[in-house]
Structure formats: structure tokens, C-alpha cells
Amino acid sequence: MWFIKSQEEVLKELNVDSKSGLSEEEVAKRLEQYGMNKLKSKPKKSLFAIFLSQLKDMLIYVLLGAAAITIAIGEYSDAIIILLVVALNALIGVVQEHKAEKAVEALQKMTTPKSLVRRDGEIIEINSEEVVPGDIIILDAGRYIPADIRLTVTANLQIEESALTGESVPSNKDAELVISDPKTSLGDKTNMAFMSTLVTYGRGEGVVVATAMDTEIGKIAKILDDDRNEMTPLQKRLDELGRILGYLAIGICALIFVIALIQKRDIMEMFLTAISLAVAAIPEGLAAIVAIVLALGVTRMSKINAIVKKLPAVETLGSVNIICSDKTGTLTQNKMTVTLHYTYGLLSDIGQSSTNLTGTYDENELIKTLVLCSDATYENDQGTGDPTEIALIVLGTKYNMTKDGLNKEFKRLSEFPFDSDRKLMSTLNEDGEGYRVNTKGAIDNLLEKCTRALLDGKVVPLTEDIKEDYLRVTENMSNSALRVLGAAYKETSEVIDPEDMEEDLIIIGLVGMIDPPRLEVKDSIREAKNAGIRPIMITGDHKNTALAIAKELEIADSLDQSITGAEIDNMTDEEFTKHINQYRVFARVSPEHKVIIVRAFKAQGNIVSMTGDGVNDAPSLKYADIGVAMGITGTDVAKGASDMILTDDNFTTIVHAIEEGRNIYNNIKKAVIFLLSCNLGEVITIFISILLNWPVPLLATHLLWINLITDSLPAISLGVDPGDHDVMKHKPRNPKESFFARGAGIRAIIGGMLIGLLTLLAFYYGLWEHDYPLGEIIANLDNPQYAGALTYARTMAFVVLAASQLFYSLSMRSTTKSIFQVGLFKNKYLIGAIITGLLLQLLVISVPFLAKAFQVRNLSLKDWVLVIMFALVPLLVNEIIKIFMRAAERNKHVQF
């Protein structure tokens, strides 16, 4: 903890003299001891490694097991189809993840290429990678800090640290200060300078105390390199489903063998039947369909300015119930803006977009002094220099007093620069025939230098009443988290020395400024709260400033809902986690605190989204369930660590993305329940036929065709079903909620039973129609006289199974609304999928070489009508059930 030690102690511990620096010999030793000053990262994953990681899924294991068995029994075509499905699923995942995990590379790019160091008594410029602990670094305006430094000399030194701490305003540095509190937050370590931050004003020197991975930036790189990736809610549900289906397939196979032994059937034949049943139980296309639906969701989200880097993140958005947002640049505009100015007796509120303003004489004098006493520049909506001064120049522009115009009219002759002791800055400008001193700074210090006041265009003595009035207004502004600056002037007939400028001044007034909230954020936060989502502000800024913004945005309404990083440090992890839900604002926090906060929220069962744009946000973006980076103002580091990037930096886009995520999950659920209903129908068909000692109504080829072709098209179409606009009127889904919750399991069972029983009925009818001796079905299996009848009956079963599933998909679009209420033709993809599925079915039966491969034959017109009627029954029954459900829902509302 270098910041709690004096300069002398630090220099002694690092064995260096600040006047001469390290010798080249000592540098070589330390370079060998500490290594190069650059961030390290673990080896990048190859494309093949990413491909293999996509296969770590229970459902994929089950499919690979099925493929292995089909190869073992010589069904190579079936095995190839299953393996193609697995490969397709993995490839979709690889494409999405290939460009991810760039965070550490971006951190490496941020480090500055050159540094000024003192070695062997001389100042030289070196590559920053060659800096070692103990090096004496020379700092001046515009130079990046190459490592973590304990400052030894500061002259009005200001360092912009917003990317690391989240503060909008550059931090004033003081080398002489020794901090006593070891728990001081990063933003308050004023005797330190940190790697990759920028010197904006003044000059200084310091001794390097940490390089590479030991720096604060290095600590962030370590966190980002941590490869702990938790499963998303969807991945957990699919993994659970894969296990259930895997165990079910094994259980069915075992049961079939038991039945085979009891019925004294041929063991090899029953083994093939068991494989058919296992194929029927597993929706082979599910993994690929979910991946395709997510990929299509990613494409849709890119159109609303949200780029999703990892497929499962789309669905996780739908479960989000907490949005943790960084304040600076995310909720606010990351530019200081003057919102109030005050001259004696007159307080004026300035709108953010106001232009061509006119002021009183006193107001014009106030603005003129503030602009002339500023070093920043502002042209074409771009400012350079201190953010506070840029705000003052923008204020002048609003009153048509531009920096260039005033500088030409009132030429600056000399200045008395700002320093942290006086907290004032003064300039001497030509003014007509004479000269004018313009001074700005902290109001307390300024009033001590003033003897007179400007009042309605007249200079009057500065009384205690006027002083108290200025101090009262200052206090009110400060309580509203505004940064207050006072302005004073005096006229002189001759050029005076800087030391004489700040005497006998005339107070004009003061201004209050703040980094204002983004204009659109308030409505977005209100919409999020209505959707059951809790917005949380996390910032490195001061508590009062953060709370003022939070109150304005309706994130928080009392001081009790805010906490600082130092207060978090004084609590145990258990205590903090227990009370985490009562806080809405976290101020003066470090990157480590942000991770602790995200983890505490997650420990309470929340699904957490973290938004941010700075380097300091990267670790928490990584640890959150959904990390959201800003695309325009966001650093490459934040983008690399995130799951989603907003291309318009608009908080509103997050809310739209959450709505999209909820609809995508609902669509995936529809597809999953639909597929499971279909597969259950297949299992019932085969299992009951075995129990009844019938021939198997469907061959393994039929089942694979239906599972991979006929089912898949409607399932994908359900996956892109137009979203329900009312989805944001409900609370977030419980991430532990099963796919089968809210009656979905019952619907799947009813649908599956209807499909299965009607397929059996069609098979039975096909045998009966061809005078197959129903009482002796098994005995006549090898009788060539009845081979045609069996093929015909199987064809009828095949068509009913496929067509009933296609029609049933229409009913899956809503759990309560009828197919007409949701709009029969609103999902054109689904209508197209049903028509395509029926045409493909007709093709398989009609084209001779296909019919031979599938062991089917063409049907008569009468039987086509019959199978279509059978196929419509599950759809009609489900629509009738919905009528009763809507009636029950209405009665429930009437009672309330």
C-alpha cells in the first residue's frame, strides 16, 4: 500500500534516488526480476477448441450416443443425419463466438508506447514496456501514465481517470499528501497515478511502484482472463431436458427388452425396435433448432442497435430483473454542463439545448470572466482540455460569447495558474484602454479575496449579508450535487504581477454544473420498473453526486438506499449479501467492489445485467449474467468483456433488448414444447403397438425424417413468431422455472397422447381396410400376401403423424388465445412451413425411389381425406381447451 507511505519511505524501499534515478545496470536486473511492463493473457482458443466446447452439452451427448448405436447396427444413413445435426449446431455456436474474448488484447493496446524517465541523472524517452519498479517517471500534460506511480513532485497536476474510476472530472494530485486510511478508494488516492490514465494539466514526477499485471489495470486483466463461464438459464434447462431424455431413452430400451422376453419375441428385432423408440424419444433437431432460433434472434436484435456476441445471452436477457448501470457515460452524458448561474438576487436555470440566450449586465459579466479565465477549447461540438472549463466555454457559446471572439477582443497578457492550495485561477486581459483581472475558483476562497460586489451593474461594498447570500446559494447547489465555481474581476490601469492579481476583487456571481443525465434514460428506467426490473447505479463518483442523479432518474428516493465502497469494506460478505437488496446507489466503488456487488445480487437469486463503458466496468461486465457495453463511448476493453454491445449507447436499447429476449425465450419454449409433444406422440405410437403385440407402425427412417424435417420447419417458424407486445407488463421469468411450468407440461402430454393415439388409429384402419387378419397380426408378419397391407397401414400412420404435428403447431403460438386471435396468417413462416411439410410428405409417398427408400406407397383419395381429418383432431381439441381456459381466466378476474 504505497499511498499510505511517505515519498522518502517509498524511495528508500525501492532503493532509488529521485534526483538521479536508476542506473542502466540496475534497470537490467529489475527487468529480469519483474519482466516487461506489458499485460499477459492466456493462450487464445483455437477455432477447433471453440468447436469442441460447443459439444459439451447433455443433449449432444445423447445424440452422439444414438449415432454410435446406429453405426453399430449398420444404419449408416441415420448416423450421418444425426452427426450432421450435431455439426450444424456446433458451427452456429463457433460463428457467434469466434470474435469474442478480445478484452485483454484491448487492454494491451491501451498502454502508452513512450515514457519520459530519469536514469543515470538524465531524462530520456523509452518504450513504456521497458519501465521497471523504481524508475522515476516525468509527467506533463497530454502524456499517458505508463505504470502505477507514487507521486513525488506535483505542480497543479490533474489526471483524467474516468475510464478507471468513473469520475467525470480530472483528479487533483498532491505528492506531499500521506493517506492514513488503508481502505481509501481508488478515486481518492490523490498521491498516486495509475497506468493508462491521462495527464490533463500541470506537471509532476513519480516513482514506479507496480508494472504490468501488478498494476490496477493488470488486476482488471487478471479478472477478465478468469475463465469462469456460468451456464445461462436456457443452457441449464436444455441440459436438464437432455438428461431427462437421455435417461428416458435408456429406460425405454430396457423396458422393451423386458417386454420382448415376456412376449418371447426375436431379441435382435426388438433391439432394432428399441433403437426406433430411442430415436422417437429424442428430438434430434432440438439443439440445432434452438441454436438457429437464437441466431435469428441475434439478427433481429442487431436491427434495434444491440449486437449480441454469444447466442445464449439473447435468452438470458429475458430473465434479467436487475440492471446495474455505471453512471458516467451510461446514465449521464459524460460531459460537464452548467445548469444554473447566479448573480446577486437572480438565479437562472439553463436548459441543456438552449442557444442564443440573452442575459442581464451582471450575467454577461459573469460569463465573460469565466470564458476569459479558461484554457480549454471548443469547436464543432468538440472540446479539448479540462471538462469543467469546456462546460464554461459551452455556456459562453449559448450566450453568443465564443472563446475565440472574446480572446481576440480581450487579449490575454498573463496568468496566475490554478493550484490546489489557492483553488483559484486568474488571467490579466486587455480591456479597452486599461486592463482587467478575471478570476474563477472555489467560492469560499474567492470571497476571502473580494472586498466589493457587482450588483445590478454597480460596484458596491461586499457586506456580510451579500457574503451569506452567496454561501447559502452555494450550499443549495452543492446539496443538489452541483459543482460550484465563483467568478470575480477587477479593473487596473497597468499590467500587474500574478501575485497581485487576487487582491481587492469584485465578486460577480457563481455557476453550478453537473454531468447531466441522458435525456431518454428516465423514460427507459420507468419502463424497466414497470416490467419488474430494478435499475441500480454503480459509480466511482461521490455519494451526493450519484444520489442526486439517481433521484432525478427515479432510481432511488432516499439516502438510505445509497452506500459507498468504504462502507462495503466494513461489512462482511455475508452481511453485505444479506442487505444488498435495500440499496439502489453504490458510490466511490473500485472495480473489485463492482464484482462484489454483482456477485451479491446473483447470490440472492437475481439475474443481473451490468452496463458500462469504461475500463473499470470490464470485470463486472464479465461476471454479470449479461454484460452490456456501450458501442460509441465504450472502451475496447469493455466491449471485449461484454456479452452485448449497444451501437447507439442508448440505455433505452437495453429495455428493448430485454423485451426481445423475453419474446425469444417464449418462442424457444413454444418450439421445445411442440417438439416434445411430437416426440411423445411417436413414443406412445410405438410403445402401445409393442404392448398390443402389433408390428411397429413406424420405421426408424420415418421417425428420423419427421424429427429432422417435418418437425423442424414449424419449430423454427415458432422460434421467429412475432413478439407479444404485452410481455413487458409482466415480471421477469423466474430463472429456475422449468420449461414445463404454467401448464406447458400438461399441454405437451395431451398433445402427444392425441397425436400418438390417432397415428395408431390410422395404422389400425389401414390394416383393417386391407382385410389384414387383426387377430393374428404378428403371425402374418412374414406372409407376403399381407406385406402390401402392412406397408399401406404404415404409410397412413406416417402421414397422420407428420400432418397432425404440422397442424398442431398452429395451436402452439399461444397458450390461451385462439389461432384467429393471434392472427392465422400473422406468422407467414409457419404457414409456409406447414405447406412445405405437407408437400414434402406427398413427395416422399409419390416419388418411386423415395417411396422405396422409406418403404411407403401412395394413398387413395379417400384415405388422404381421412388422414387429413385425423391430423386436424389434435389442433381442434387444443383450441377447445383454450376456450375453457379463457372462460376460467375471465371468471377469475370477475371474482377479483
**Residues annotated catalytic, as ranges:** 326
Task: For 387-418, give one letter per residue: b (16+ CB within 10 A) or e.
Answer: bbbbbbbbbbbbbebebeebeeebeeeebbeb
Q: Cβ-count burial of 468 within 10 angstroms (0-12 exposed, 13-18 middle, 19+ buried)? A: exposed
Task: For 246-282, give one letter per residue: b (16+ CB within 10 A) or e.
Answer: bebbeebbeebbebbeeeebeeeebbebbbbbbbbbb
The three-class DSSP label of residue 190 is coil
How many angstroms separate the CA atoms of 349 and 854, rounded?
80
How many angstroms separate the CA atoms of 593 and 568, rounded?
8
Q: What share of the chain is helix, strand, coil (3-state, %, to 5)?
A: 55, 15, 30
Residue whose C-alpha cell reads 427412417 in the numeric block: 701
Question: For residue 683, which amino acid is it?
Answer: V
Give CA torsion, residues 610, 614, 617, 619, to 10 deg: 130
The three-class DSSP label of residue 197 is coil
Closest Cα to residue 17, out of 191, 174, 155, 136? 136
How many angstroms separate the CA atoms of 184 and 166, rounded?
16
Residue whose C-alpha cell reads 456580510 in the numeric block: 464
Cβ atoms 487, 505 nearer than 8 A: no
534-538, strands of its sheet edge to edge? 306-308, 644-646, 626-630, 608-612, 322-326, 534-538, 585-587, 562-564
Where does 319-411 show beta strands of DSSP type E?
322-326, 337-343, 346-349, 377-379, 382-384
CA angle 716, 721, 724 (to 5 degrees): 150
390: its cell numbers: 469546456
How many angstroms separate the CA atoms of 536 and 263, rounded?
66
The three-class DSSP label of residue 275 is helix
Closest Cα to residue 36, out of 129, 128, 116? 129
Q: What are phi and psi of 653, to 5 degrees?
A: -60, -30
491: its cell numbers: 479593473
Task: For 812-821, give one letter per residue: b (16+ CB within 10 A) or e.
Answer: bbebeebbee
| CB within 8 Å of 367: residues ≥ 6 apart | 341, 359, 395, 396, 399, 401
How many angstroms separate the CA atoms of 696 and 702, rounded?
11
- Strand 534-538 and strand 644-646: the pairing is unpaired
